Amino acid sequence: MNRDKSRRAAVAAGQVLVGGVNSPVRSFAAVGGEPLCLGRGQGAYVEDIDGNRYLDYVCSYGATLLGHAPAAVVECVAQVARDGLTFGAPTVRETQLAEKIQTALPAMQKLRFVNSGTEACMTALRLARAYTGRNKIIKCRGCYHGHADLLLVQAGSGALTHGVASSAGVPAAVVQDTLLVPYNDSAALAQVLAQHEGEVAALIIEPIVGNCGFIRPRDGYLAAVQELCSQHGALLIGDEVMTGFRVAWGGVQTLTGVIPDLTVLGKVIGGGLPLAALGGREDIMQMLAPCGPVYQAGTLSGNPLAVACGLKTLEILERTRPYAQLGALTQRLTRGATMLAQEYGVPLTADAEGGMFGLFFTPARVYDSGQAQASDQHLFRRFFHAMLARGVNFSPSPFEAGFISTAHQETDIDSTLQRFELFLQTLAETQ
């Protein structure tokens, strides 16, 4: 597989872009080598600028659910673009998109659109602090909620990958009110809430973790978290930026019935353009400007293109409800990979929900970030490069989840498993 053009592009990018990328995990820092420079994508496949095709399990880190360049969405965006790119004024589709999201997530009584998950999480926490009059927030180790200062403490894939527990440039004073608990440990949460009685504004959580690999909540964990938060007067913020409209029509809250006070969405709701949202209980949301004293604004918030792209995407998802099919495919992949690994004596645990999945090279089911970090990262790097060389594009980090789209077919999964077996064979031969 010739990647000369990609290699030259990486050199040129490095001259002008920091690290040659605009988001750290893309740099391949966790796996070594140069990143692919992609030229186009169609359906389940992406193509690099050398013309090599790859089956894509990155899907823009979960943002694309209908495959690359879905014709109906692209056509809609092109049409809307002809009427103007951005106005800085209300448009009809913003309301339609909010209504559409509400039909799936009725707990989002009032919404606000922003441009990124980072902004949405940051604003949700500001609201929670204003609403409760409390300063402290709790997050789980390994969960990622964007790169706002107050959240850059043990923050998932990018941070874990680079071994930075908290970023430089974040004053201690800014994170002194950020408390950490392990994921999947309600006893630890109970203790922290009791220790800081009356001080905790909110707990923010990924209801299924996707930013530290794929980590499923234990049975009853999310319900226990909700109960503890309400006992202690802290708000529960469900960060469904990754899981929203990917694991189900709606999000994890529609699967578990654990309804957070505030919900954060992103990725899929923009259909591939920059769009995110926060929403939830009306009495909390009404504290946002212009109704209340909590400030938040954005020049391009709810811009016509991103809104049209998201609305068209959700309309298609509502009509086709592909989640059972997505779940069957990810299960086929994770079950198949687990069986093959067992056959070859390679420690692997894999899990999936709807259109997202994850695998760790470690023998036992992973429940928290410590266990994720204890997985075999060296083996992951070999796996990653072996699969890439055979035309399968996984995320370049052992701490990212994997994603499929409605364009992925059973034959794609089966050919992935065949190539995985080839990797296991070479592994056996070289040991």
Ligand X SMILES: *Cc1c(COP(=O)(O)O)cnc(C)c1O
Question: Where do contacts with ligand X occur on this chain (CB under 6 A)?
Answer: 116-118, 121, 144-146, 206, 210-211, 239, 241-242, 266, 276
- Residue 406 identity: T
Instruction: Please state the closest distance from residue 354 (CB atom) to ligand X, in A.
Output: 14
Instruction: Please state the closest distance from residue 135 (CB atom) to ligand X, in A.
Output: 22
Instruction: Please state the closest distance from residue 418 (CB atom) to ligand X, in A.
Output: 30
Cβ–Cβ under 8 Å, residues 277 and 67: no
Find the catalytic residue in 144, 183, 221, 367.
144
Q: For residues 211 and 226, which CB has a smaller minimum distance to ligand X in the complex?
A: 211
Active site residue 267: yes
Q: For residues 64 and 211, which CB has a smaller minimum distance to ligand X in the complex?
A: 211
Instruction: Please state the closest distance from residue 206 (CB atom) to ligand X, in A.
Output: 5
Instruction: Please state the closest distance from residue 243 (CB atom) to ligand X, in A.
Output: 7
Q: For residues 145 and 281, which CB has a smaller minimum distance to ligand X in the complex?
A: 145
Instruction: Please state the closest distance from residue 417 (CB atom) to ligand X, in A.
Output: 27
Instruction: Please state the closest distance from residue 242 (CB atom) to ligand X, in A.
Output: 3
Distances (CA, A) of 154 to 39, 162, 167, 175: 34, 11, 9, 11
Active site residue 239: yes
Cβ–Cβ under 8 Å, residues 402 and 44: no
Instruction: Please state the closest distance from residue 67 (CB atom) to ligand X, in A.
Output: 19
Find the catalytic residue in 239, 351, 368, 412.
239
Q: For residues 127 and 348, which CB has a smaller minimum distance to ligand X in the complex?
A: 127
Cβ–Cβ under 8 Å, residues 371 and 144: no
Q: For residues 139 and 312, which CB has a smaller minimum distance to ligand X in the complex?
A: 139
Tell me the C-alpha distance between 359 and 348, whole Å: 7
Q: For residues 181 and 348, which CB has a smaller minimum distance to ligand X in the complex?
A: 181
- Residue 225 identity: V
Cβ–Cβ under 8 Å, residues 325 and 293: no
Instruction: Tell me the two tokens of residue 95.
Output: 């309301």
Q: For residues 118 and 161, which CB has a smaller minimum distance to ligand X in the complex?
A: 118
Find the catalytic residue in 136, 139, 267, 312.
267
Q: For residues 129 and 267, which CB has a smaller minimum distance to ligand X in the complex?
A: 267
Q: Which residue is nearest to ligand X (CB)?
A: 117
Residues with catalytic roles:
144, 239, 267
